[in-house]
Structure 1
Amino acid sequence: MTGPLRILVIGAGVSGISVARGLLRDGHDVTVFDQRKDTSAGGGAVTTWSHGEAVLRQLGVDMDSAGQLLSRVRVLTSRGRQLASLDVNAMVDYLGAPVRMVPRRVLVQRLLDGFPTDRIRCNSRVARVVTNPDGVRVEFEDGSVARGDLVIGADGLHSVVRSAVGAPAAEPTGWCSWQGLVTLPGIVDKRVAMIVIGERGNTGVWPAGGCHVQWWFDLPWSRDFVRPRRPIDLIRSNFSGWSDTVDLVLRRLTNEDLAGSPYPHFRHRTLRPLGAGPVTLLGDAAHTMPPTLAQGTNQALLDAMVLCRELSDVQDGGNAEIAAALRRYEKARRRRVRAVSRVASLQVAHGESVLWPATMIPDRVHTWMLTTFLRCTSHRRLTAAIDRRLGTAMPIAAGRR
């Protein structure tokens, strides 16, 4: 390559900082823009499965002691019947990296550790993205302008960059999540997560480090939904008695804990085209999906890995070559993301009679099925090739201006 690419990343969340770390590592000139006043992250916790952890390792992110490592996931019915007990340790042994639940703010802090802060421009709300023969120009609402060789839209569900390239918006699935973190002293086994499925919805309680647990309650949702004045009553009326642990969470929660909820589920049903010319999308901006499989963060990390790899082949930095690299990235990701999105969108609220056949499947088969699914959707050959090239986790480079 004749010189480092000038890359503009829109969005300083997990997706944006992850791809920026990889691009800086590879010697590119990267600037990250975000409309928020700072890069602090709120929300609850996220699950990083083995394929996501592998990418974090490649990016040089130290995840030691972050969140909570998991050893097992138990799946129950609302009447207490065990549907499956997934052996996460066996999955880790096969896939080669741990599985953990980590608060989003902790993950963002780890991603920012060692990241050159002068590469991040906050209070930068995008107004327009304009491509030209010399590359791309991003115009911001305050009148400022940034120019680069390409733009990566990592600005989430309501992506301005996605709108700029004319890609269709995400559509609601008819479900929503009430979710968050709560302190739950006296957790018996901090390495075991739990999902409970019932006819009216589903819920989960996943340890997230220390006494913190991530909780969620999924219920039907529509655009005409009217939020109740006391949402805790709605949640308790639907989920009380499902399990002792769920009841313990319900006793701890207040209306204040539900203040930011619910979060409607959306899905991008059409995954092509993601971009045009020297513009592409990454993470939720590219492929929002329901949180059912806890794959959003992991798919964004895989996006970052594949995109960095394709851009590493760019030689002369011309518009046509950059656009070709971006289309290769999009094509490489499309089939795997489509499979994950389809499975994540399956209805998971069922009555006892529908769920009963699952109890006939041995736990080792349930574990094998999930392990195989993750393996087949995670670019394992590319991951291994990059691991060999990097050797060990490399410190982040400052890049060149």
Structure 2
Amino acid sequence: MNTPTSHTACPDCHGLGKQNRGLSKRAKQRYQKALEVYQRFPDNPKPVKPKAHLQVCPSCSGSGLLPAPQPPKPDTTRFPHLAIIGGGIGGTALAVACLHRGIPFTLYERDTDFAARAQGYGLTLQQAHTAVKGFGIDRLEQGIVSTRHIAHTPDGTVLGEWGMRKWDTQTNATPKRTNIHIARQNLRLALLNQLSGTDAIRWGHQLNGFKQTETGIELQFDIQGNTSTAQADLLVGADGIRSSVRALLFEQEPYPLRYLDCIVILGICALSPLKNTAHELLDQKTVFQTANGNERMYMMPYDPEHIMWQFSYPLAEAEAKSLSAQGAEALKKEVQKRTDWHAPIPQIINATPAALISGYPVYDRALLTPQAFTSCGPVSLLGDAAHPMSPFKGQGANQALLDALALARRITKMCKPDTSWKQTNLRKKILTPFETEMLDRSATKVKASARAARVLHSDQVLQERDGPRGGGKQ
């Protein structure tokens, strides 16, 4: 992976990635005239002061960061100390964003180490060039840029094709906006590499409870059967769809898990056993999917030596739970039974080791509202803990990264230099605006992902069209 490089917040944009251009002379004049009219006729609506335009910071090219010999020292006077629960993508990303800005933090993860358990499969970073650079990662060495997307019927008939090779055959230049496919653990390791040398990660810590005190937040952990406590000023739950923080935060869960009426079965297959299966779909630059209006197979590059597949179909919740509980061999047999389809699908499934297959029922939750956090004090959520969604639009990791960057930047913006954070109302000035933006931004992704769970397993997916599937009608 990438060689760790230290970074610090760009002083010109204060780590925000954008600079305030101010109001144009014309905008100021319009507002001033409207204000004068309002003062003469106060029964009219009061004019809203226009917002200044923001431009990408030229010093850091919008990342908010500059290389540095070492990260800044945590500033415990200016910033609150964050307790981050969950060492997945969102939690680790928040820790990295805090590190670069001198925000003190401790990252707590229930696993005993990085490789303690499987951490998911492949991710598609759809905002990779902006979000990842904001965490000090200039290049994902194991990332693969796809240049071709194809949709088929089970007999191999092409329903549509799109991507760089379809639309732009005259140049080999890579556009600024590309989809980067990467193994979840590889992205997570790239983030953890940014934290090397810090003493702020606590492995093997399972959160059991927390309570607000006069001096902040007291957290209770189980550490291999032993109980331990810790202190923090601000608590962030980044611990996934079954978040412990969320369960403890809301005495009565406002939006319980919502089953999306389908099961997903995932597998990772090495390319080496397929060397005798020469096929253009295995060039590691192609993403393809095959569907029949009920079942759907999606395949994408996982890393330079592997391909990842995702098979899904409608199934009653009880049956989905039962099949998942039967284990990898049963899941593999079920996929083999249902995919006597065009090459190289059967060959890939047959060559996939059962140890690299898993399956689960698909859930999300109804959308939280900012009002749900009103009485939560200095406690918040991000990523799947706040807005879980189906995997069918590939947005979970993207939104978690954006959440983490947004929160760190908000803390930096509202906690001014040479002042104490204790003068800042964390809930009013930081958390409520952050949650409002996060929930508004992710709402369309949650809805689209739930809609895709229906469309991709219906006849709508069989439309002939050179473009992505999964949109459909609401």
Which is bigger in relative contact order (C-alpha 8 A, separation at least 6)? 1
SS in 2 for 1:312: helix
Cα distance, 1:209–1:81 mapped onto 2, change above 3 Å:
same
1:130 is matched by which residue type in structure 2? K
**Within 2, Cα distance between the matches of 1:265 and 1:351?**
16
CA drift at 1:223:
3.5
Tell me by how many angstroms 1:65 deviates: 2.2
Match of 1:198 among 268, 292, 304: 292
Give the superposition deviation at 1:294: 1.1
Whether the aligned pair in 1 keeps the contact of 2:268 and 2:352 (CA below 8 Å) is no
Contact 2:96 2:194 (C-alpha < 8 Å) held by counterparts: no
Give the structure 2 partner of residue 24 of structure 1.
99
The CA deviation at 1:9 is: 0.3
Aligned to 2:444: 339
1:175 pairs with 262, 279, 299, which one?
A: 262
Q: CA deviation at 1:255?
A: 3.9
| 1:128 alignment partner in structure 2 | 209
Hey, what does 1:211 align to over in structure 2? 305
Equivalence for 2:421:
317
Aligned-pair CA distance for 1:244: 0.7
* Equivalent residue for 1:287, pick from 344, 366, 387: 387
Q: Which residue of 2 aligns with 1:39?
A: 114
Match of 2:60 in 1: none
Q: Would you say the 8 A contact 2:121–2:184 is kept in 1?
A: yes
Residues 82-128 of structure 1: CA distance to partner in whole angstroms, max 9, x if unpaired? 33323157799897243221112211111111314421001111111
Q: How does 1:118-267 map to 2 (within 5 A)?
A: 118-141=199-222, 142-166=226-250, 167=253, 168-185=255-272, 186=275, 188=280, 189-225=283-319, 226-227=322-323, 230-241=330-341, 243-258=342-357, 261-267=358-364
* CA distance in 2 between partners of 1:44 and 1:162 (Å): 21
- The alignment status of 1:99 with 2:182, answered yes or no, reads no
Compute the displacement of 1:319 (Å): 8.4
Is the alpha carbon distance of 1:134 and 1:93 closer, same or farther for their aligned partners in structure 2, counting shifts above 3 Å? farther
- 1:348 is aligned with what amino acid? V
Q: Residue type of the partner of 1:183?
A: A
* SS of residue matched to 2:267: strand
1:327–1:46 Cα change, 3 Å: farther
Q: CA deviation at 1:306?
A: 1.2
Q: Are 1:66 and 2:150 counterparts?
A: no
Task: From 395, 398, 411, give the equivalent of 1:298.
Answer: 398
**Bigger mean CA deviation after superposition, 171-180 or 246-255:** 246-255
- Partner amino acid for 1:66? Q
Query: SS in structure 1 opposite 2:127?
Result: helix
Work out the CA distance in 2 between the residues paired with 1:204 and 1:295.
15
Change (3 A) 1:49 1:257: closer
Of the two, which has the highest radius of gyration?
2
Q: Secondary structure at the match of 1:199?
A: coil
Of 263, 268, 283, the residue aligned with 2:365 is 268
CA spacing shift, 1:191–1:44, aligned 2, 3 Å: farther
Q: Using the alignment, how far apart are the partners of 1:4 and 1:120 within structure 2?
A: 19
1:12 Cα offset (Å): 0.8
Distance (Å, rounded) in 2 between the aligned partners of 1:285 and 1:44 = 16
Give the SS at the match of 2:107.
strand
- CA distance in structure 2 between the aligned counterparts of 1:240 and 1:254, rounded to whole angstroms: 18
Q: Aligned AA for 2:431?
A: L
Identity of aligned residues (%): 23
* Residues 8-48 of structure 1 deviation map (CA, whole Å, 9 limit, x = unaligned): 10011111110110011111111100111112362453333
**Matched-pair contact (CA < 8 Å) for 2:317–2:361:** no
8 Å Cα contact 2:150-2:289 kept in structure 1 = yes
2:177 is aligned with 1:83: no
Residues 266 and 355 of structure 1: CA distance in aligned 2, closer, same or farther (over 3 Å): closer
Q: Secondary structure at the match of 1:18?
A: helix
TM-score (norm 2): 0.70
| Amino acid across the alignment from 1:184 | L
- Paired residue for 1:395? none
Partner AA of 2:351 in structure 1 = R
Q: What CA distance in whole angstroms lies between the structure 2 residues aligned with 1:49 and 1:106?
A: 12
| Closer/same/farther in 2, CA of residues 163 and 209 from structure 1, 3 Å limit | same
Letter paired with 1:212: H
Aligned residues: CA RMSD = 2.7
- The residue identity in structure 2 corresponding to 1:87 is G
- Quote the residue 2:455 is aligned against: 348
For residue 272 of structure 1, report the CA deviation from its aligned partner: 2.3
Letter in 1 for 2:361: P
User: Unaligned regions of 5+ residues in structure 1, if any?
Assistant: 374-401
Amino acid at match of 2:411: L
Determine if contact 1:284/1:300 at 8 Å carries over to the other structure.
yes
- Number of equivalenced pairs: 361
Match of 2:191 among 108, 111, 118: 111
